[in-house]
Amino acid sequence: MTEFPFAPAIAAAIFLAFCAITVSGALIAALSKRIIRGVCGLALCCIGLAGLFYFLNSPFLALMEILIYVGAVCVTIVFGIMLAEPEEVIEGESRSAALVWGSCAMLVGAAFFLALSRLSLAHPWLSPTSRADGSVAAIGVALLTTYSMAFEVISLVLLVAILGALVIARTGRSRT
């Protein structure tokens, strides 16, 4: 069986593209002035993250990332924006104060980035001697045997979260 020509280079190019999508999405989500652009940046970041999950040998989680984050979370946040219309106007804060606080937050973020990346790159990780099967079938078996308790409890958490969200949103409505 002959290998596709330049396969590793093409894979590296796709990997770099997904890295760029993730990083630019995160930058848009963190830096944009308008909140709706921030949500679009979050969706972009999650699409790039799904690609990275694919490179990490788990296509199942890549699909779930797109389904849950892009399909559910981002759309729900867009609905919240439409209902609560946050207009992020720059008022009550002078230009110099914005500059000072922005650079302070940037400094904290940069410190976290440098510290975390240095920590995780410098640590001598040990590679495992033997590896088990990580396919979708193995995940399904693990969810229904080893993690069955956690699986049931998280379904309960989701049910309570939905009911709680309905109750909280309704109380606000009756009060006005």
Partner 1 sequence: MNLDSAGLLYGRPNAYLVIAAFLFACGIYGLLRRRTLIGMLIAGELIFAAASLNFMTLNRFFAPDPTVGQTFVLFIMGLAAAEIAIALSIVIAIYRNYRSIRSREVSELKG
Return the residues of window 53-72 that contact partner 1 according to CB under 8 A.
53, 55-58, 60-61, 64-65, 68-69, 72
Q: Which of 1, 4, 83, 95 binds partner 1 (CB under 8 A)?
A: 83
Return the residues of window 98-157 that contact partner 1 according to CB under 8 A.
101-102, 104-106, 108-110, 112-113, 116-117, 120-121, 125-134, 138-139, 142-143, 147, 150, 154, 157
Please provide the distance, in angstroms rounded to a whole number, between the alpha carbons at the two ends of the chain.
70
Question: What is the distance between the alpha carbons of residues 96 and 8, in angstroms, rounded to a whole number?
Answer: 49
**Smallest separation, CB 117 to partner 1 (Å):** 4
Contact between 22 and 49 (Cβ < 8 Å): yes
Return the residues of window 5-34 that contact partner 1 according to CB under 8 A.
6, 8-9, 11-12, 15-16, 19, 22-23, 26-27, 29-30
Dig out the tokens for 5 from the structure.
């020509």
Question: What is the distance between the alpha carbons of residues 65 and 79, in angstroms, rounded to a whole number?
Answer: 19
